[in-house]
Structure 1
Amino acid sequence: MRVVVGKVSDFANGDRKIVEVNGKSIGVFRVDDRFYALRNRCPHQFGPLCMGTLAPRAISGGPGDVRLDSGPPLLACPWHGWEYDIATGQSFMGPGRGNVPALAYDVSVLPGSELLPAEGAEARTDGRVPGPYVAETVPVSVEQDYVVVEDSPARRAGDARNEAQA
């Protein structure tokens, strides 16, 4: 099923619109000249993901070197702060929001050449380590100046199987 969300001109840069498609809440975002769509359900604890904060990725090559990435931004779930790539749905560790108990850790100072990535962790070029969750992305396109999302029968059948297994 294809659903027209609105005209491209209805979306300013950074705008979002939440729509219902086949009983699913879907958030549609405009970032520059690209559109992204995600199911409005955080896979962590099913919070309203698309109501969260959208922010560019900060990248650092080391102390004093901070810049913003030009790629798709991250969307932080308003419930627990898990961050999701709006293009792929991949989660990343949130910014530490929520009720986290204070813990003490041993600290040491080492030269940069002695620091190695944690064994088994696959860090991205922006230094973020992927989390365990993947938000459901939804195909979105622009057709004759209209923003269109698609929820195909194959996607709905797959969702039903996934929900039954959960």
Structure 2
Amino acid sequence: MPAGATPPGTPPTPARAVATRHVVAATDEIPPGGRKLVAIGGRDILVFNLAGEFFAIANRCPHNGGSLCAGRTTGLVQSSEPGRYHYSRQGEIIRCPWHNWEFDIRTGRSVIDPRRIKVRAFPAEVASGAALQAETFPVQVEGEYVVVEA
């Protein structure tokens, strides 16, 4: 059998899902400290503006499925020694309204156990209008039928 050939009877390798870019809002629709719930491909996704940087996470808490869009944003209380503390990262943590599980908006990771528990994070970016283009599909005429490949 030639190198790289697939043995007979081997099932085909499933195609990998390719992320598709979606325009979800103009930058001025989500002010700093704001958020917007959008639906993409049947999934609810929360888009946040943290001081001009945009981040996106799934709207579903992994604990019991609570809707994170109804949660409060907060920060972290940190301490360098007993009796001294300071508040940091104001507005960068989302708290599930059901059981108060907290997640870092920038990464989707849990505040309490970031290695094991997380909300799915999605890439988010600001693109100029010139960088955007409409999705097109190949079209053919076969006999009396117009056929679109999608």
> Fold match, TM over 0.5?
yes
Q: 1:70 to 1:49 in 2, by over 3 A?
A: closer
**1:45-101 CA distances to partner (integer Å, 9 max, x unpaired)?**
1111232111122211123422232487211111111101111111134xxxxxxxx
2:3 paired residue number: none
Could you say what the CA RMSD is over the residues aligned between the two structures, in angstroms? 2.2
CA contact 2:33–2:91 (8 Å) conserved in 1: no
After TM superposition, give the deviation of residue 131 of structure 1 in Å: 7.0
1:90 pairs with 2:109: yes
* Identity across matched positions, percent: 35
2:99 paired residue number: 80
Q: 1:56 to 1:71 in 2, by over 3 A?
A: closer
1:143 pairs with 2:127: yes
The residue identity in structure 2 corresponding to 1:92 is V
CA contact 1:38–1:50 (8 Å) conserved in 2: no
The residue identity in structure 1 corresponding to 2:79 is S
1:104 paired residue number: none
2:37 paired residue number: 18
TM-score for both structures, normalised by structure 2: 0.66
**Separation in 1, partners of 2:41, 2:83:** 48
The residue identity in structure 1 corresponding to 2:111 is F
**Separation in 2, partners of 1:32, 1:58:** 20
The residue identity in structure 2 corresponding to 1:20 is A
Structure 1 segments unaligned to the other structure (5+ residues) = 94-128, 149-166
The residue identity in structure 2 corresponding to 1:76 is R
**Separation in 1, partners of 2:23, 2:72:** 24
4+ residue runs over 4 A deviation: none
Choose from 16, 26, 46 the match for 1:7.
26
Structure 2 segments unaligned to the other structure (5+ residues) = 1-19, 133-150
Q: SS of the counterpart of 2:24?
A: strand
Q: 1:144 to 1:19 in 2, by over 3 A?
A: same
